[in-house]
Amino acid sequence: NAGVTQTPKFRILKIGQSMTLQCAQDMNHNYMYWYRQDPGMGLKLIYYSVGAGITDKGEVPNGYNVSRSTTEDFPLRLELAAPSQTSVYFCASSPGQGLSGNTIYFGEGSWLTVV
Amino acid sequence: AQKITQTQPGMFVQEKEAVTLDCTYDTSDPSYGLFWYKQPSSGEMIFLIYQGSYDQQNATEGRYSLNFQKARKSANLVISASQLGDSAMYFCAMKNTGGFKTIFGAGTRLFVKA
């Protein structure tokens, strides 16, 4: 089972550069999420999507954009990278609403450093 | 508004002993789910256990159990017979059933001593 796949795993960006973190899931989950985890901290929600064509902001959306053209893919775009965006990024998915559909499945994380 | 609080930044436990990691939450929604995740030093997030707000019994998964006290709004994780491989960061999380967002606590780092 591939589950949730993120690429790249590591990336160093220069200030002002742009990049896209790719995320794909093969579990036919409706919900997908992007979180960031700063050193020694918990996870903060950047954006989420409840289905293809539908996205919404989380707690910390500034400096990021997302799209959800298919059920499987949920890329995260960083425009004009800033040092404050140095973090570990986790893509995740869940089946959807309902008590048993709440569990989130995470990708392995993408370590991003902006210098 | 939803909130998850983990008040223990770090915990030490002797190998083979049990340990309790604290988690309190706040929500106005009567239907919600509570989760615990483990994050080892390698960085990936591993789902451990789930408790629904209407579940009558506390959830158990192998050596993990969730001590759910609804009136106190607490969802503590109990790890029995700790192993060296249990050393990791542990996150408590919550999602309202009718909502879309899962929120996470700040985490507790567990150190298991040989």
Q: How far is A61 from chain B (nearest CA, A)?
A: 14
- Spatial distance between the Cα atoms of B92 and B37, rounded to a whole number of angstroms: 6
Is the CB of residue B2 less than 8 Å from the CB of residue B27?
yes
What is the pairing mode between strands A10-13 and A19-25? Answer: unpaired
Confidence of residue A102 (pLDDT cuts 50, 70, 90): low
What letter does residue A59 receive in the DSSP assignment?
S
Angle at B52 between CA B12 and CA A92, to 5 degrees: 75
- DSSP at A34: E
Chain B residues touching residue A23 (CB < 8 angstroms): none
Residue B104: partners with Cβ closer than 8 Å, 6 or more residues away: A35, A42, A43, B4, B37, B91, B92, B93
pLDDT digits (tens, 9 = 90+) for A30-69: 899 999 999 878 889 999 999 999 999 998 999 999 999 9
Whether residue A27 lies within 8 A of chain B, CB to CB, comes out as: no
Given a cut of 70, the residues of chain B with pLDDT beneath it are none
Decide if pLDDT at A2 tops 80.
no
Ramachandran angles phi, psi of A84, nearest 5°: -65, -10
- How high is the pLDDT of residue A14? 96
* pLDDT at residue A101, rounded to an integer: 54
Q: Enumerate residues 81 to 100 of chain B having a beta carbon within 8 A of any beta carbon in chain A.
A: 91, 93, 95, 97-98, 100
pLDDT tens digits along A62-94: 999 999 999 999 999 999 999 999 999 999 998
> pLDDT tens-digit profile of B30-55?
888 999 999 998 888 898 999 999 98
Tell me: pLDDT of A97 over 70.
no
